[in-house]
């Protein structure tokens, strides 16, 4: 019998994030170092209440906030976003290049929908953001991994990959390179500006063989959660660069306001698709973000958030140094929400003895294997854990790491 469901619906598997959340909810008292949640205690409740009160204090400001907005997003928020990016990157941005989306996740999905047909090809970092791999799985395009170095992508590997794709003719299916460039989820690595420029140059070299433009999608979700070192400029301005940013992480995850900076004609295509998805991001939350930025509440909140994450990262790093065996490789984070720990001799996958033992001890992490795409040219690594210091309390971070450490020593 024929199915009533579309190929896309039937192809889409349950996202690992739902499964991880279900596990957490089913086991009260479980310490989750898995969830990508932000710090609960520092969510800006008072600031948001005051901003909402101000917005709703008169019909003049309240009514537009409670009305539908435009598909591209609130013009004032696009202006403020362009100014903030200009300040960060020391070059100018035009509000008309910007689309406001329901979190940067929606932007990632829309870009994939616009650029990829089933069986097209996208290059990703190895490892990469596992929810992005879910988009690929659902839309039916293939991903291939590019190895990472401490300052980002392994350019030699990228070049080898591109040359091989050209040789096999698969370059014609290759659409874009996806990079999570700041405090990468999951590895914590930040890509240097020089690497972004070099990657763009390389992509450009293969456009003739591909027969179409090849884009670089820069996902900067964690850019502003930096607590050590200097900011790195985003990829150079180019009609091949797509930049995905968010106000979820640096302000409030529940707000789900993200944005994209897109070159034409891609911006128009993404805008049209967004029109069909929702014809505009929730106006009320956009106006809250606008008001937060305009009133400096955003800046103040971000400054305190950075201190808070610096402290939580320190707690996790200290606990790992104390409890994990020396054979486990990891780096002290300089931003973001994660520590990526590699236990070369222990399988950490979702079906491993170790993962089950951790569950039994009521602690959970994201198995590293979930962050690797299905790439037939290598075996999926299975020895890593993504440990988040975002959502858990300091007490739970210490206790969770202590329990994992005891299990690692036994394993």
Ligand X SMILES: Cc1ncc(COP(=O)(O)O)c(C=O)c1O
Among 38, 104, 181, 290, binds ligand X (CB under 6 A): 104
Q: Assess contact for 377 and 336: CB atoms under 8 A.
A: no
Site for ligand X in 225-284 (CB under 6 A): 246, 248, 253, 256, 258
Min dist CB 337 to ligand X, Å, is 8
Does position 219 interact with ligand X (CB under 6 A)? The reply is yes
Q: Using CB under 6 A, which of the segments 23-31, 100-108, 269-277, 319-327 binds ligand X?
A: 100-108
Choice between 5 and 19, CB closer to ligand X: 19
Choice between 112 and 165, CB closer to ligand X: 112
Choice between 126 and 219, CB closer to ligand X: 219
Among 20, 32, 36, 38, binds ligand X (CB under 6 A): 36
Q: Using CB under 6 A, which of the segments 19-27, 91-99, 101-109, 150-158 binds ligand X?
A: 101-109
User: Which H or E run contains 387?
Assistant: strand 384-388
Q: What does the alpha-carbon distance between residue 384 and residue 392 come to, in Å, rounded to a whole number?
A: 20
Farthest-apart Cα atoms in the chain, separation: 65
Compute how many other C-beta atoms are within 10 angstroms of the C-beta atom of residue 4: 7
Number of residues binding to ligand X, judged by CB under 6 A: 14
Q: Where are the beta strands (DSSP E) in 36-139?
A: 98-102, 121-126
Query: In the block, which residue shows the tokens 């302000």?
Result: 251
Among 48, 81, 97, 185, binds ligand X (CB under 6 A): 185
Question: 152-155: long-range contacts at Cβ-Cβ below 8 A with a sequence spacing of 24 or more?
Answer: 152/179, 152/181, 152/189, 152/190, 152/191, 152/192, 152/195, 152/196, 153/125, 153/179, 153/191, 153/195, 153/199, 155/195, 155/198, 155/199, 155/202
Min dist CB 247 to ligand X, Å, is 8
Choice between 103 and 405, CB closer to ligand X: 103
Residue 208: exposure state from Cβ atoms within 10 A (0-12, 13-18, ≥19): exposed
Min dist CB 38 to ligand X, Å, is 9
Choice between 165 and 225, CB closer to ligand X: 225
Q: Using CB under 6 A, which of the segments 97-105, 147-155, 205-213, 339-347 binds ligand X?
A: 97-105
Min dist CB 127 to ligand X, Å, is 11
Q: Using CB under 6 A, which of the segments 77-85, 98-106, 197-205, 351-359 binds ligand X?
A: 98-106
Residue 42 Cα distances to 18, 36, 54, angstroms: 25, 15, 21
Rounded to 10 degrees, the C-alpha dihedral 301/306/310/312 comes to: 40
Min dist CB 219 to ligand X, Å, is 5
Strands 338-342, 31-32: pairing kind: unpaired
Q: What does the alpha-carbon distance between residue 102 and residue 157 come to, in Å, rounded to a whole number?
A: 34
Binding-residue pattern over the window 105 to 144 for ligand X, x denoting contact by CB under 6 A? x-----------------------x---------------
Min dist CB 346 to ligand X, Å, is 25
Min dist CB 336 to ligand X, Å, is 9
Choice between 105 and 348, CB closer to ligand X: 105
User: Which H or E run contains 304?
Assistant: helix 297-323
Site for ligand X in 41-60 (CB under 6 A): none
Does position 221 interact with ligand X (CB under 6 A)? The reply is yes
Min dist CB 319 to ligand X, Å, is 23
Strands 366-367, 384-388: pairing kind: antiparallel
Min dist CB 114 to ligand X, Å, is 17
Min dist CB 246 to ligand X, Å, is 3
Which residue's beta carbon is nearest to the bound ligand X?
103
| 3 state SS of 10 | helix
Does position 285 interact with ligand X (CB under 6 A)? The reply is no
Choice between 71 and 105, CB closer to ligand X: 105
Q: What does the alpha-carbon distance between residue 396 and residue 329 come to, in Å, rounded to a whole number?
A: 22
Does position 161 interact with ligand X (CB under 6 A)? The reply is no
Q: What does the alpha-carbon distance between residue 50 and residue 295 come to, in Å, rounded to a whole number?
A: 11
Strands 338-342, 121-126: pairing kind: unpaired
Q: Which residues contact residue 151 at a Cβ distance below 8 angstroms, ignoring those fewer than 6 apart?
A: 189, 190, 191, 192, 195
Q: Which residues bind ligand X (CB under 6 A)?
A: 36, 103-105, 129, 180, 185, 219, 221, 246, 248, 253, 256, 258
């Amino acid at each position: 019998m024929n199915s009533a469901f579309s190929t896309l619906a039937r192809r889409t598997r349950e996202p690992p994030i739902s499964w991880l959340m279900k596990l957490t909810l089913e086991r009260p008292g479980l310490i989750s170092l898995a969830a990508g949640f932000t710090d609960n205690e520092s969510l800006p409740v008072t600031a948001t209440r005051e901003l909402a009160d101000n917005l709703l204090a008169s019909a003049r400001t309240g009514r537009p906030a409670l009305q539908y907005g435009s598909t591209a997003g609130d013009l004032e928020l696009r202006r403020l976003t362009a100014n903030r990016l200009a300040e960060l990157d020391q070059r100018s941005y035009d509000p008309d290049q910007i689309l406001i989306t329901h979190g940067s996740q929606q932007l990632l999905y829309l870009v994939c929908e616009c650029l990829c047909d089933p069986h097209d090809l996208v290059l990703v970092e190895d490892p990469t953001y596992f929810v992005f791999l879910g988009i690929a799985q659902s839309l039916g395009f293939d991903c291939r991994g590019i190895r990472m170095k401490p300052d980002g992508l392994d350019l030699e590997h990228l070049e080898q990959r591109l040359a091989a794709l050209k040789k096999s003719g698969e370059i014609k299916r290759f659409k874009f390179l996806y990079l999570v460039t700041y405090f990468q989820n999951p590895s914590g690595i930040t890509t240097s500006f020089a690497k972004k420029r070099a990657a763009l140059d390389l992509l450009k070299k293969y456009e003739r063989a591909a027969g179409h433009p090849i884009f670089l999608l820069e996902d900067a979700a964690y850019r502003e959660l930096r607590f050590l070192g200097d900011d790195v400029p985003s990829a150079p301005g180019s009609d091949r660069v797509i930049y995905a940013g968010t106000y979820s992480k640096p302000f409030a995850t529940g707000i789900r306001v993200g944005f994209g900076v897109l070159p034409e004609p891609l911006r128009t295509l993404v805008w049209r698709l967004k029109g069909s998805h929702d014809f505009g991001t929730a106006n009320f939350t956009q106006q809250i973000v606008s008001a937060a930025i305009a009133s400096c509440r955003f800046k103040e909140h971000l400054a305190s958030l950075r201190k808070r994450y610096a402290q939580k990262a320190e707690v996790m790093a200290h606990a790992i140094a104390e409890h994990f065996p020396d054979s486990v490789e990891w780096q002290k984070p300089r931003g973001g929400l994660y520590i990526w720990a590699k236990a070369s001799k222990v399988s950490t996958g979702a079906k491993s003895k170790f993962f089950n033992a951790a569950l039994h001890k009521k602690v959970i992490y994201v198995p590293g294997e979930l962050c690797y795409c299905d790439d037939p040219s290598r075996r999926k690594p299975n020895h890593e854990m993504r440990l988040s210091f975002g959502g858990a309390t300091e007490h739970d971070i210490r206790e969770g790491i202590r329990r994992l450490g005891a299990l690692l020593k036994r394993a």
